[in-house]
Amino acid sequence: MFKFNFELNEADSLSNESPFKTQKLEIQSTDVAKEPTDWYKAEEVKPTERVLKSLDLYELNAKELTAGNIELRHLIAGFLLEDIKIHNDIDSKDIKQSEENHSDLIAGVYEGGAKIWECTDDLLDYLAKNYKADQWKNKSVLDLGCGSGLLGIYALKNMAKVHFQDYNKDVLEQITIPNVLLNLDETLSDDEKMKLLETETRFYAGDWSYFAKLTEDVEKYDIILSAETIYNVDNQQKLLDTLSKRLKANGVVLLAAKSHYFGVGGGLEQFVDVVKSGKIFESTNLWQADENLKRGIIELKFQ
């Protein structure tokens, strides 16, 4: 059994501290043998009115954070995970398995989407400082590997049309979609909220390569946002292939990651070398933090 030391945001804290205060977490993987991974096929996940019935409960178990002048709300991870562990809900089987195994990475099963990771905060802060509101209006945005969906929600609240993609369907149903609802105008009726979800958002689950195939007839994206998605070296080319297939010719990718993911092998500098060797994208370093574990943000554009 391997143990990976990642940095984790303490998003499930009930204190008034920043939800992005970091702590060490041991991530365990039982994928000892290098056998081929059976990755989930892609599917579109449609929001249902059932999630609206839980909105009052979500309201009572939500935290707020600010990115520039945009307030974002999200479910407290501790509440959500405890509820999933208690209830034997087949729709949350992947999240529940990760909790039972005390693991945030189970190859082919679960990819850490229930937690808010540190580089999400970095990218939100960068966007708030460097992107004006009118740069989002009517733009087509993809939050790739969205997890909590905060990056996409930030774009949505700036009037972009946003698609959310995560490996796990239950992450989308139990976390992402509820978080999107928490950030909609409270004065909207339930019907108006569902209509807004239908017209301004879409949600996709499954492996990146299958997602790219599933959405090949869907309009490509002006902006693709992604955080903490390069830790698995074996999946990096798949990620780049997906970006190249789903980004508009004049589009931009903004990707935030740590310089090194201990025990896994991936990291930002290593990923940039892969980008350069592919000769599809040009990479620009936008931001870097040197305190504690180094982190950075890069921009990718077609050459």
Per-residue pLDDT of the chain (303 residues; tens, 9 = 90+): 323 333 444 333 333 333 333 434 344 444 444 567 788 999 999 999 889 988 988 898 899 999 999 999 999 876 666 666 565 554 556 555 555 555 555 555 445 555 787 999 999 999 999 999 999 999 999 999 999 999 999 999 999 999 999 999 989 998 999 999 999 999 999 999 999 999 999 999 999 999 999 999 999 999 999 999 999 899 999 999 999 999 999 999 999 999 998 877 799 999 999 999 999 999 999 999 977 779 999 999 999
**Of 123, 144, 265, 261, the residue nearest 202 (C-alpha):** 144
153-165 residues labelled b (16+ CB within 10 A) or e (exposed): bbbbbbebbbbbb
Residues paired with residue 28 on neighbouring β-strands, in sequence order: 3
Instruction: Answer yes or no: is 98 within a domain.
Output: no
At residue 266's C-alpha, the angle toward residues 299 and 203, to 5°, is 60
Instruction: Answer yes or no: is 79 within a domain.
Output: no
The pLDDT score that the predictor gives to residue 262 is 82
pTM: 0.84
Domain extent at residue 223: 45-61+114-302
The answer to whether the beta carbons of residues 287 and 296 sit under 8 Å apart is yes
**Of 297, 238, 252, 248, the residue nearest 272 (C-alpha):** 297
The answer to whether the beta carbons of residues 258 and 7 sit under 8 Å apart is yes
How many structural domains comprise the chain? 1
Instruction: Answer yes or no: is 11 within a domain.
Output: no
Instruction: Answer yes or no: is 94 within a domain.
Output: no
Instruction: Answer yes or no: is 26 within a domain.
Output: no
SS (H, E, C) 110-177: ECCCCCCCHHHHHHHHHHHHHCCHHHCCCCEEEEECCCCCHHHHHHHHCCCEEEEEECCHHHHHHHHH
At residue 150's C-alpha, the angle toward residues 145 and 151, to 5°, is 70
Instruction: Answer yes or no: is 269 within a domain.
Output: yes
d(CA 266, CA 256): 13
d(CA 160, CA 140): 6
Whichever domain contains 161, its CATH number is: 3.40.50.150
Instruction: Answer yes or no: is 108 within a domain.
Output: no
Residue 46 CA to its chain's centroid (Å): 18
Instruction: Answer yes or no: is 32 within a domain.
Output: no
